[in-house]
Chains A and B, each alone.
Chain A
Amino acid sequence: SQQGEEDPQALSIQEGENATMNCSYKTSINNLQWYRQNSGRGLVHLILIRSNEREKHSGRLRVTLDTSKKSSSLLITASRAADTASYFCATDPHGGATNKLIFGTGTLLAVQP
Chain B
Amino acid sequence: KAGVTQTPRYLIKTRGQQVTLSCSPISGHRSVSWYQQTPGQGLQFLFEYFSETQRNKGNFPGRFSGRQFSNSRSEMNVSTLELGDSALYLCASSTRGQGSTDTQYFGPGTRLTVL
Contact = CB atoms under 8 A, between A and B. Distances in A.
Interface stretch (B11-19, B61-69, B72-80, B90-98): B90-98
A105 B107 CA distance: 20
Interface of A: 2, 30-31, 33, 35, 40-45, 48, 88, 90, 92, 97-106
Contacts, number: 75
Contacts of B94: 99
Contacts of B44: 2, 103
A42 B33 contact: no
B97 A97 contact: yes
Contacts of A45: 103-106
Nearest to A106: B42
B21 interface: no
Q: How many B residues touch the partner, as a band?
A: 20 to 34
A85 to B, nearest CB: 13
B96 to A, nearest CB: 5
Contacts of B4: 42
A105 B42 contact: yes
Secondary structure of the B contact surface, majority rule: strand
Contacts of B8: none
B72 to A, nearest CB: 13
16 contacts: A2-B44, A35-B106, A41-B109, A45-B106, A48-B102, A97-B50, A99-B33, A99-B48, A99-B55, A99-B94, A100-B56, A100-B58, A101-B92, A101-B104, A103-B43, A106-B42
B45 A30 contact: no
B24 interface: no
B104 A42 contact: no
B78 to A, nearest CB: 19
B89 to A, nearest CB: 11
A33 B104 CA distance: 9
B102 A92 contact: yes
B81 interface: no
Given A100-B48, A100-B58, A42 B106 contact: yes
In this complex, the member of A30, A31, A33, A97 whose beta carbon has the largest number of chain B beta carbons within 10 angstroms is: A97
